[in-house]
Amino acid sequence: MGTERIMNRRTLTAAAVALLLLLVAVLAAAWQDRARLAALRAEQAALRQRAEELGFRREDGELSLPAKRGTRPDPEAEARAAAARFAAHAMEMEALGDAALAQPDKALRERMIARMDEVARLDAGQLRILIGELMDSREIDDEQREQLVGFAFVKMLAKDPRLALDVLLDTPSLGNLSRRRPPERSEWLKFAISRWAEVAPRAALAWLRDREASMETDENGAEAMHGLQRGLIYGVSRTNPRLAMELANEHGINRGVFVTDVLEQSARTPEQRAEAVNLLREWQAHTKEDPELYQEAMARSLASLALGSAWQGYEQTAGWIDAQGFTPAELSLMTRYPFHASQLPAADRSRWMAWLGAELPPESAHEPARTFFVDWMNADPVAAKEWQGSAPDGPSRHAATSVIAEGLTRKEPQEALRLALTIPEGSIRTSTLKSLYDNWPRWQPSGQEAAEKMAEEYGVRR
């Protein structure tokens, strides 16, 4: 470091001499040619300004060398100093205790913010040094180490996920930091490669393939590789879901829950949602997984892709659904997952209630319409009942009538029975009458007798 300072000083001294000589030459030329004096004065002023920009100062007509504080600090030393201050800050917080931290004074808040800002400003390489210092420190306890390293590592992940991967793989002890929850190393690995794959998928994929052979030779490495593969696919899916699906097939990670998660997170715009639906159809056509194992995941995913934007407006979402050409089976599957009226604009609830009855196959419309109407009744019973009273005959109205009738049973059993009998004969009417029988107010005078009479008259099984 001493030799470097001497060389820097010599360089700056030479620059100062050169500038002074140039100034003298300019002044001499001015005396020789007065016609150029104005231009030379301007040039002289520009030279002085440039000298000051380089760090030289005018003192009694002379140029001095730049102040020592103007030199660039050593990045490594800066990182080590930041680590020391960060650790000291943690020990200060520990000494103050919970009471002081609950209502910190202005000076303490400023110190807290300053320490976090200082760490946040470090580049990824400096953060690597800082993490190493904290890992080796004997002044802080394990809990403090976990908190400080966690904060610094998240910053490194955001700035350079490629470097973060190397740090994780080269520092196994990072996975043993946490005492209160499972080690975070595997989650950090997945997150780091996911972030990298999002911005540079081909580079991340090449890096992973170079590591596969060496990592899969031991049990821990194989587990880490499995997590890296998943993280890579998640990251790639944000910009290239088709490539993500190809990688999932390549690595044998093409089970229903994983596939649907990947495709859901890749779909932000209507166009991306349409692409996700197409990829989901392709996967379903070729998967060898038992349908019972992926049906629920498919239902959730289709509901998210198709109905997840319903809160934005009926026209937009219904139009998008219509454009995808969903089959009756797909419509039935997506509406198996709860569709909540309370989360929609009030003006759209009646339209979606009607849509369920009109678009779904009759045999699968009742349960989705019933679930939707129950939620609507909880959110706005007046509007829901008004709709039921004026809605056209069909699956949606039958579902709504069943819900209202069942709700009236305990207080107004005869009115409930009247409503139930407006439902056409069939399974829905039968199940509604069975519900009325089960909930009939038998504590009322002749209640038991009335319930049995109703059951016998309409063929309700006891």
pTM of structure: 0.69
Residue 178 has what pLDDT? 56
* Residue-wise burial string across 92-115, b where 16 or more C-beta atoms lie within 10 A, e elsewhere: ebeeeeeeeeeeeeeeeeebeeeb
DSSP 28-69: HHHHH-GGGHHHHHHHHHHHHHHHHHTT-EEETTEEEPPPGG
CB distance 274 to 232 below 8 Å:
no
Helical residues (DSSP H) of 238-380, grouped into ranges: 241-250, 256-266, 270-286, 291-307, 314-323, 328-334, 346-359, 362-379
C-alpha span between 425 and 421 (Å, rounded): 8
Residue 242 has what pLDDT? 94
CB distance 162 to 124 below 8 Å:
no
Closest CA to 61 of 70, 76, 51, 69: 51
CB distance 135 to 86 below 8 Å:
no
Residue 341 has what pLDDT? 95
* Residue-wise burial string across 293-321, b where 16 or more C-beta atoms lie within 10 A, e elsewhere: ebeebbbbbbbbbbbebbeeebeebbebb
- Give Rg (Cα) of the chain: 36
Residue 368 has what pLDDT? 96
C-alpha span between 216 and 212 (Å, rounded): 6
Residue 305 has what pLDDT? 94
Residue with tokens 């394990």: 142
Q: Could you tell me how many residues make up the chain?
A: 462
Residue 43 has what pLDDT? 54
Using alpha carbons, list the distances in angstroms from residue 367 to 167, 327, 429: 52, 18, 13
Helical residues (DSSP H) of 122-181, grouped into ranges: 124-136, 142-159, 161-170
C-alpha span between 243 and 245 (Å, rounded): 5
Which amino acid appears at position 381 of this protein?
A: P
Mean pLDDT in each 10-residue stretch from start to end of the chain (462 residues)?
40 39 41 47 54 45 45 79 84 70 70 85 91 86 82 89 86 63 70 91 90 69 82 93 93 89 91 95 90 88 93 95 95 91 96 96 93 97 96 96 96 95 95 95 89 92 76
C-alpha span between 37 and 21 (Å, rounded): 18
Sign of CA dihedral 434, 439, 443, 444: negative
Residue 27 has what pLDDT? 40
| Tokens representing residue 132 in the block | 């190493």
Neighbouring CB atoms inside 10 A of 10's CB total 10
| Tokens representing residue 111 in the block | 């110190």
